[in-house]
Amino acid sequence: MAKAKAKLDGRQSSKTVDGKYPLVLQLTHRHKTRFIPFGLSVFPEDVQFDNDGGFLRLKKLNGDNVDLWNAKIQKRVGDTNFLLAMEDYALRNKTINQVKEIILHKVFGMEGESETFVRYTESFIQRLIDDNRPGGTIEWYTNSARCFLRFRQDRDLALNEIDISVLEGFKSYMFGKQLSGHTRNDYLRGIRAILNHAIKDKVLDRGHRPFDDFKFPKGKTLKKALSKEELQAIRNQNYLPSTQVWHQRNYFLFMFNNRGMNFIDMAGLRVNQIRNNRLEYKRTKLTNEPVEFSIALTDEAREILSFYLPGKEGRDLVFPILPPDIDSKTSTEFRKIKQQALKQLNKYLKIIAADCGIEINMTSYVARYTWSAIARKMGYNIDLIGGGLGHTSNNTTKIYLSDFDIDVLDEMNQRVTG
């Protein structure tokens, strides 16, 4: 029989920036578990746990009525278990997600109570995970929602309470945090997409469209590309071989030397994709067909590979970034491994930037931005640059491999990276 209990969601991915964790209803059915958030995040020390480490009650809350919240949580748990017991036979053949939807509707969606941002977003993102949607899509929604909740100081609100004044406040909050114009717009688009999905799911009225009258922020974004002098400073930095910072510097320079290669494509590079002094691979983008690359290795790329190729062959991974058995991992496991590897790279890139006196938010994408910016400064045609990057957004660059001779792209890359 399905069961429910209150729980503090102690997953690191659920932790807020100030150290709080969300209180959730843990629903268990047919050996699977789902969470339904109560719309409240608290510090672990503010919770009284039972002898088994389970949630017992809230001891205190800042700015909220603790007795009211304890009564609300107790009632939700009691109503859920009563419903599960009464409809046990009917629920036995349903999936965990179907049972969750029933609880959301009959217990959390009681008459007069609107769907909340936290509850809907948690359910929506879990649905994306269950459907094996691309990791980048899930990260976009997750990061947008987290930033919005930081602005709200982890206080939930009904979806229909998100109006233009809330959006303006969110915009001002991100500006005050000195987020780049691109990031601000990206998170705002994420919130807009969540509201649009809520309308499609019929939990938000079709007429509630606060973004119709909202103006997205404009303005100059922060610098994203390195100069050639800054790039050379990174190359000249004297790091001890085989240390983490040394490896991460190699990864960044290898991406740059291969036309701003995508990090996950580099991490998954196999030995048999390097042949005849060329790097040959397919980059799979979220919404397009795989883009094929054939890139002549530069001197610097060959030097970097000389540290990693000895003793490897065939389908061995070139770089020690992903585990050797990565192909056996589930999509969820792969996404977590990729996120951790990318997080580590970005962490060390910031250290490298500080060591070199570079004032820029160093991430893996800087390799791509830098390659493109240097090519533009050298006077290369924008379509040729797009071809080198693998863009397929217009009719010209879709057929770049036939329009632009491979030798032309190789020569451009040699000059840009030299």
Exposure b/e, 182-220, CB count within 10 A at least 16 = b: ebbbebbebbbbbbebbeeeebbeeeeebbeeeeeeeee
Taking alpha carbons only, the member of 276, 261, 277 closest to residue 319 is 261
Q: pLDDT tens, 158-217?
A: 898 898 888 998 999 998 888 878 788 889 999 999 999 988 887 888 888 889 888 887
Residues 87, 207: one domain? no
Residues 93, 130: one domain? no
Structurally, the chain folds into a number of domains equal to: 3
Residues 266, 378: one domain? yes
169: CATH: 1.10.150.130
Report d(CA 178, CA 170) in Å as an integer: 13
Residues 326, 402: one domain? yes
Residues 235, 360: one domain? yes
Task: Say how many C-beta atoms besides its own lie within 10 A of residue 38's C-beta.
Answer: 23
pTM of the full predicted structure? Answer: 0.55
Residues 198, 234: one domain? no
pLDDT in the model for residue 110: 44
> Where is the domain boundary, 196, 222, 248?
222
Longest Cα–Cα distance of the chain, Å, equals 73
Residues 401, 284: one domain? yes
Residues 274, 412: one domain? yes
Residues 233, 357: one domain? yes
Higher confidence at residue 64 or residue 80?
Answer: 80
Residues 232, 307: one domain? yes
Q: pLDDT tens, 19-47?
A: 788 888 898 998 888 888 887 888 889 88
Range of the domain at 309: 228-417
Task: Say how many C-beta atoms besides its own lie within 10 A of residue 71's C-beta.
Answer: 11
Q: pLDDT tens, 204-253?
A: 888 888 898 888 876 555 567 899 999 999 999 999 999 999 999 999 99
> Where is the domain boundary, 78, 112, 146?
112
Residues 280, 347: one domain? yes
409: CATH: 1.10.443
Higher confidence at residue 131 or residue 176?
Answer: 176
Residues 79, 132: one domain? no
Taking alpha carbons only, the member of 233, 136, 220, 214 closest to residue 180 is 220
Q: What is the mean pLDDT of residues 325-348?
A: 85
Residue 128 has pLDDT above 70, yes or no: yes
Report d(CA 134, CA 256) in Å as an integer: 25
> Where is the domain boundary, 53, 88, 112?
112
Q: What is the mean pLDDT of residues 364-368?
A: 90
